[in-house]
Structure 1
Amino acid sequence: MSGKTISILALCLVLGLAGTAFALSDNVAQNANKSYQTVVLSPSAAGSSATGSASVSVAQMSDRYRVSIELRVNKLVPQPGTVYEAWLVSSSNNFSQPIGAFGTNASGSGTLTFREDMVNPGIFDKIEITSQAKNGTNPAPGTEAMSGSIAPSGTLNEIVTLKGNMGPMQEAPPNSSAATGTGTFMLNTSINELSYDVQFSGLEGTETAATLHGPGSYGQNAPIMFTLPMGSHVTGTLNVSQSQEQKILQGRTYMNIKTDKYPNGEIRGQLLVTGMQQSGQGDYPEKQEAGDGEDQKEGNASSSQQSDNEPENEGGGY
């Protein structure tokens, strides 16, 4: 065998090993260890009715961490001449990293998405929202509008409790039923399971379906994600995808009880992480204005369970 032939074979071997290394690297990225938690954001000013949450996921890569944050606020009314900006804050190191600036509509609803690779995201222990005259490199003193604590990386929440108070005024459009109900949900992000305990009373019609919908905010109708058993008190467990988990943690899913008198729904309740403001027994909270179009575009209606690989269903659904 000539020296030239040996060199060519050696080169092919090196390229083959390199290709294998890249494939393994890609595989690690796709199967990285992930942790999730929901940070409940509370208003800093006394008397403020603002609510908010930030869904935080951290994926461990080979030499870094991929951090994703989906932040949503309600009733955070815009202030003239200022801009809202979100920050990751390390209290012990007196260090802040900007997540991004965002606006809110007339009713105070706004969203922000952040994704970035970090070497040591564990130093951050707080998410803070400020209201400043312009974007800055650090939060200005006295400008904090909302904040929430981030759990240490070793104690990220694997089980998240959500609750939905059901009533007729959350239906879109609302109705005059006197029925009420509650849905308590436990989301286990480590095994992708959602357990539920749903009960109601006082229906004016005969129940025809119990369904979980999303993604959809208050006042929006969304496709069916899951169909639950019927009955005035039911319990069970569902398998959920990571995409569905994110929508649930973002407060973009709702429980709906349908009857023959109200085919599109007699009572409904938005699922919110425990600790976020609930508005009575299914009363209608501050409605989000139109414009959050992604809530209407994502998702695919299904009689039982939605697959992430199925085509999207444009528009809302009952």
Structure 2
Amino acid sequence: MKIFLFPALALLVAASACKKNDDTPAPATMQVTGNLSAANSVPAVSVASSGIGQLTGTYDSSTHLLTYNVNFSGLTGPATMAHIHYGDTRHAGGVAIALTVPAATSGTISGKIPLVMTTASGSSPAASQPDSLLTGKLYVNIHTDKNPAGEIRANLLAK
């Protein structure tokens, strides 16, 4: 019996030592995506648009650095502004970050920006930029003269 008990005890100790830790933190770097279209714009576009775009990038939760690349095409006129705003898929919100956009109907916007932990005025509901990104409450949009409130838009998804 003693011979059987020792291997069983050793097996139990080995199995408990291999137990997986369920408190594993999320990876520091996440993929960020978004599909821009006129159909996503809030409020709805005033002039119909076949404009589209794609945002791809990464977010590093340890440094709060957002790296992004936005390709867009088919706008009703040259882009006049581009921003990352606070807001969920059904609401427009205040500007979180101004982006530099080429004055063209198609092009690329890219860069690296640190997301800040403080809240900006006009954010609804009040939240930091990293928290807003991780809860799906940041969106990117591109404005034109024909659609000054925004012609194409995508909420950012971080995973």
RMSD: 2.0
- Partners of 1:199 and 1:169 in 2: how far apart? 17
Residues of 2 paired with 1:173 and 1:247: CA distance? 20
Cα pair 1:211 1:257 within 8 Å, conserved: yes
Match of 1:257 in 2: 142
Report 1:104-143 matches (<5 A).
123-124=21-22
CA contact (8 A) 1:206 1:261 kept: no
Q: Which residue of 2 aligns with 1:159?
A: 29
1:270 aligns with 2:141: no
CA contact (8 A) 2:43 2:149 kept: no
| 1:60-86 deviation digits (Å, cap 9, x = unpaired) | xxxxxxxxxxxxxxxxxxxxxxxxxxx
3-state SS of the aligned residue for 1:241?
A: coil
Deviation at residue 160 of structure 1 after TM alignment: 1.0
Deviation of 1:173 (Å) = 2.5
Letter in 2 for 1:217: D
Give the TM-score, by structure 2 length.
Answer: 0.73
Aligned to 2:73: 201
- Whole-angstrom distance in 1 between the partners of 2:89 and 2:101: 23
SS at match of 2:42: coil
Aligned to 2:136, the other structure's residue is in SS state: coil
Q: Which residue of 2 aligns with 1:228?
A: 99
Task: Please tell me whether the aligned partners of residues 59 and 158 of structure 2 are also in contact (alpha carbons under 8 angstroms).
Answer: no
Greater RCO, 1 or 2 (C-alpha within 8 Å, sep 6+): 2
* Aligned mates of 1:163, 1:235 — CA distance in 2: 13
Q: Name which of 232, 240, 243 aligns with 2:115.
A: 240
The residue that corresponds to 1:186 in the other structure is 58
Give unmatched runs, 5+ long, in structure 1: 1-92, 94-121, 126-151, 275-318
SS in 2 for 1:264: coil
The number of aligned residues is: 126
Q: CA deviation at 1:171?
A: 0.8
Identity %: 31
Q: Is the 8 A contact 1:166 1:180 kept in 2?
A: yes
User: 3-state DSSP class of the match of 2:97?
Assistant: strand
Contact 1:211 1:224 survives alignment (8 Å): yes
**TM superposition shift of 1:229:** 0.9
CA distance in 1, matches of 2:34, 2:44: 16
Establish whether residue 219 from structure 1 lines up as the match of residue 75 from structure 2.
Answer: no
User: In structure 2, what residue type is equivalent to 1:221?
Assistant: A
Q: What amino acid does structure 1 have at the position aligned with 2:66?
A: L
Provide the rounded CA distance (Å) in 1 between the counterparts of 2:150 and 2:110: 20
Distance in 1, matches of 2:146 and 2:52, equals: 15
Contact kept, 8 Å, 1:199 with 1:234, in 2: the verdict is: yes
Q: How far 1:123 moved relative to its partner?
A: 4.5
Cα offset, 1:272, TM superposition? 1.0
In the alignment, what sits opposite 1:44?
none
Output one character per residue of 1:168-190: Cα deviation in whole Å (capped at 9) or x when no partner: 01111223210100111311111
